[in-house]
Structure 1
Amino acid sequence: MKILLIGEFSGLHLNLKAGLQALGHEVTIAAYMDGFKKIPIDITLGGLYKGFTGKIEKFIKPLYYLNSLKGFDVIQLINANYFWHKFNYDRFIVNRLIDNNGKSFLLAAGCDSFFWKYGRDRLKYAPFNDNLLYDYKSSNVNYERKSWLQWNTDLVDKVDGVIPIMYEYQQAYRHCHNIKPCIALPVDVDTIPYLENTVKDKLVVFHGLNRYGYKGTRFVEEAFKTLNARYPDKLELIIDGNMPLSEYLELMSRSNVVIDQLWSHSNGMNGVYALAMGKVVLGGAEQESLQMLGVKTSPVINLTPDANSIVVAIEVLLAQVDQFPVLGFHSRKFAEQIHGHITVAQQYINAWNCSGVEKNSE
C-alpha cells in the first residue's frame, strides 16, 4: 500500500513508518518539524523558522504541497487539532487530503478537544489542571473552544476510523461510532540498542523534561529532593530534556531507571523507548490501560500523581540492584512483543483494511 502519515509527535509515526516499510509498504511522513526534537520527516510542512516568518511558513507550505499529497491508499492524521484552526484553514486542508486519497484515519493521540472535554469526566486522574497552570499559564485553552470541538466532531464523522494509541484517548473517544481497538505505541527495536542493565557505583534515575505540568515533573522534583536527602551516596538523580531526540536517547541510555509520566494511566513514547533499551520504567501501568492493550502484566512500575509513589518505588529498587539485568531483560522483551514496530504496523494494516469501502484514488 501507499501510505501518508500526517503529523509527528515524539517519533510515533517515525517508528510506525519503519514497521510499515519492513512489511513492504511505501510510506511518506508529512509534518511540521516537532520543535527541538528534530525528528526526521519526509515532507516538511513548516517549523524551520520562528516568529512571524514561521507562522507564514506553516500557513503556506501545507497549501503548496496539497496537490501533490494525493493518490495514497491510506492517510492517517496524528491529531484532530494538528493544523492552524483560524478561518477554517484546518478544515480546508484536511478535507482536501481526505477527498484526494483512499481511506482516512484519525489517531486519538495527544491533546485535542475530545480529550479536554471528555477525558476530564472519564479519567480518575488527568493532567489538565497542571497543564493549564504550569505549561499554558492560563485558565483555559483553545481546545475548549466551541469551534475547535465542532471541528473535532466533524472530523471524526468524516474519517473511516479513529485509532486510539492508549487508554486515556480511548476513553475520550469511546462514544464514537467508528472507534477502532487501541493499538500500542510502536518502537523500532532494530535501531534501539539493548545493553544489560547493570548498576555500578550509583543507581542512575532519569526523568525527561518536556511539558513540566503535563508530565507531572513537580512530583519528580519533590521525590528527588527526598531521595537525595536519604540516599546521597546511592543515587544519581537526573532531570533533563528539551533537546533533539537523538541526544535525548543518548542521555537516557546512560540511566538504569527512567521515570515517564505521572498523570498518565499508560506508558508514553518516552517509556517505550526506555523499555526497548532495557531500562526499568516507572510510569503509567494502570490495569485498565493494560487491559486495553490486551496484556495482563507489564514490567512498568505504576506511578500515581504524587511524589510518594516515586519514593516508594525507588526505595524498593535500591534493595534489588542485583536484579537489574533480569529486570532490564524483561523490559526489552515486553518492548519487542507488545511495541515492536513490525507487530504494531501489522495491527495498523489490519485496522485500515477492515474499515469502510475503499475510494478510488488518482
Structure 2
Amino acid sequence: MKILLVGEYSRLHNSLKEGLMALGHEVILISTGDFFKNYPSDIKLTRTYDSGIAKKLKVGIYKLFGIDITSESIKKQFFTHKEQLKDFDVVQLINESPLTTTPKIAIDIISFLKKYNTKLFLLSCGTDYISVSHALSDAHPYSILTNYKDGTYDTKRYKFILKNLEEAHKKLHDFVYSQIDGVIASDLDYHLPLLGHKKYLGLIPNPVNLSKLPFTETASEGPIVIFMGINRGNMHTKGIHYFEAALKNIQQEYSEAITIDIVENLPYSEYIEKYNKAHIVLDQVLAYDQGYNALEAMAKGKVVFTGAETAFSKHYKLDETVAINALPDVDYLTKTLANLIENPEKIKQIGAAARAFVEREHDHIKVAKQYLESWK
C-alpha cells in the first residue's frame, strides 16, 4: 500500500511510518517538523517569518491585508512537491489544519489531496473544533481549558486554542468532515469528544518505536531525579503550574534526597536524551490519557505523572499502576511525590510496569496493523 502522512505532532507520524514500513508499505511523510521540535520528514516544509523582525512584518501585513505570509509560504512549498503527493492509496491528516496554516489554505491543500488520492483520513490528536468544544463544556471535571474558565491565566493565552471555534475554523472543520473517509482518535482525550460521531472509526493507541527507547533501570543510589520539560507556549493547557507548586513543597521537605531538573523548549533530539537519568517525569495534569512524550518516558521505565484516569484504566483493563494520574490538586501531587521519594522501591515497580504496558499496547508495528485495518 502507498501511504501519505501529512503533518507531525510529537513524533506520532514518524513512529507510525516506521511501523508501516516494517510491514512492507511505502510511506511518505510531509510536515513542517512541529515548530521547535524539528521532527524529521521526507518532505520538510520550512516555516518562515516566525521570529524577530520578520514576525513583526508578518503581523503588520496580516493586520493591513488579512494575509498570513507564513501560510502562503507553506502553500507555495507544498505545491512545489505536488507531483510527489498524488496517487496514494491512503492519505492521513494529523489535524484539521495538518500543516498549521490559515483555514483557507488548509482547505486548498486538503482539496488537492482529496482530488488526487484514493482515501482520506483524519487523526484527532490535537486541538480541533470538536475537542475544543468538548473541553469548553462541563462534560468532565477538568480539561485543557480549566484554567481559562477559572481565570488562572490571561484569556489571551488561549487565543490559539479558542480560534478553533471561530467561523473560519468551523468552516474548515465542516469541509474536512465532508471529505474524509473516517476519523481516528489517538487517545482518550480525543476519543471521548468523538463518541457517537458517524465518521468516528475508534481509538488507536499512539505508536511507539520501542527499539529507539531502550529500557534502563534507574540508579538506586544517590538522589531521586525529578524531571520536567516545559513548553512555554502551551504550559497553560498542561497544568504545569500545579507541578511547579508541588515541586516547591517537595524541595523544602526533601532537598537532600532529590534533584530537580527543569528544561524549556528543547528540540526533540535534546529533550529525549535530557531525561535519561530521571526517576520521575512530570508530564501534564489536565489530561485523561497519556500523550506522546509521556509514553516515550514510560517506555524508558520512568514513573510519569500524566493523564491516567479511571476511564484509561478501564479501557486498557489495568489492575496495576503504569503511570501516576496527575490531578489539578497541589496537595495531592505533593503527597504522591513524597510517597515515591520515601518508598523508592515503588519507582522501580511502576517503571517496569510502564515499560510492559507500552510494549503491550503501543508497539509501533502492532499499532500500524490497527491503522491498516481501519483504513480498509
TM > 0.5 between the two? yes
Supply the RMSD in Å over aligned alpha carbons: 2.2
Unaligned runs of 5+ in 1: 354-362
- Does structure 2 retain, via aligned residues, the 8 Å contact 1:207–1:258? yes
Residue 106 of structure 1 aligns with which residue? 122
- Does structure 1 retain, via aligned residues, the 8 Å contact 2:132–2:162? no
Residue 189 of structure 1 aligns with which residue? 210
| C-alpha separation in 1, matches of 2:261 and 2:188 | 28
Give per-residue Cα distances to partners, 1:7-32, cap 9 Å, x unaligned: 00111111111111111111111011
Question: Is 1:155 matched with 2:167?
Answer: no
More divergent stretch after superposition (133-142 vs 339-348): 133-142
Q: How far apart are 1:87 and its partner, in Å?
A: 7.2
* 1:276-355 equivalent positions in 2, closer than 5 A: 276-293=299-316, 295=318, 297-353=320-376
Partner amino acid, structure 2, of 1:287:
T
More divergent stretch after superposition (40-49 vs 27-36): 40-49
- Does structure 2 retain, via aligned residues, the 8 Å contact 1:298–1:334? no
| C-alpha separation in 2, matches of 1:81 and 1:135 | 23
Partner amino acid, structure 2, of 1:233:
E
Question: Is 1:118 matched with 2:138?
Answer: no
Give per-residue Cα distances to partners, 1:258-313, cap 9 Å, x unaligned: 11110001111111010111111111111213334565555111111222232121
Give per-residue Cα distances to partners, 1:38-71, cap 9 Å, x unaligned: 1111101232664347554323112222342011
| C-alpha separation in 2, matches of 1:112 and 1:320 | 41
Q: How far apart are 1:80 and its partner, in Å?
A: 0.7
Cα gap change, 1:179 to 1:296, in 2 (>3 Å): farther
Higher relative contact order (CA 8 A, sep 6+): 1
Q: How far apart are 1:234 and its partner, in Å?
A: 1.0
More divergent stretch after superposition (94-103 vs 194-203): 194-203
* 1:229-268 equivalent positions in 2, closer than 5 A: 229-268=252-291
Cα gap change, 1:273 to 1:85, in 2 (>3 Å): closer
Question: Is 1:137 matched with 2:157?
Answer: yes
Residue 91 of structure 2 aligns with which residue? 75
SS of the aligned residue for 1:207 comes to strand
TM-score normalized by structure 1?
0.91
Residue 18 of structure 1 aligns with which residue? 18
Give per-residue Cα distances to partners, 1:195-221, cap 9 Å, x unaligned: 112332111111110221111111111
| C-alpha separation in 1, matches of 2:235 and 2:71 | 25
Unaligned runs of 5+ in 2: 59-68
More divergent stretch after superposition (69-78 vs 230-239): 230-239
Cα gap change, 1:215 to 1:241, in 2 (>3 Å): same
Partner amino acid, structure 2, of 1:124:
P
Cα gap change, 1:239 to 1:33, in 2 (>3 Å): same
| C-alpha separation in 2, matches of 1:215 and 1:99 | 38
| C-alpha separation in 2, matches of 1:117 and 1:261 | 20
TM-score normalized by structure 2?
0.87
Q: How far apart are 1:81 and its partner, in Å?
A: 2.5
Partner amino acid, structure 2, of 1:268:
G
Residue 194 of structure 2 aligns with which residue? 173
Partner amino acid, structure 2, of 1:237:
I
Q: How far apart are 1:225 and its partner, in Å?
A: 0.6
Residue 64 of structure 2 aligns with which residue? none
More divergent stretch after superposition (144-153 vs 130-139): 130-139
| C-alpha separation in 2, matches of 1:254 and 1:178 | 43
| C-alpha separation in 2, matches of 1:87 and 1:15 | 27
Identity between Structure 1 and Structure 2 (%): 30
- Does structure 1 retain, via aligned residues, the 8 Å contact 2:215–2:300? yes
Q: How far apart are 1:131 and its partner, in Å?
A: 6.2
Question: Is 1:65 matched with 2:81?
Answer: yes
- Does structure 2 retain, via aligned residues, the 8 Å contact 1:266–1:289? yes
Cα gap change, 1:55 to 1:220, in 2 (>3 Å): same
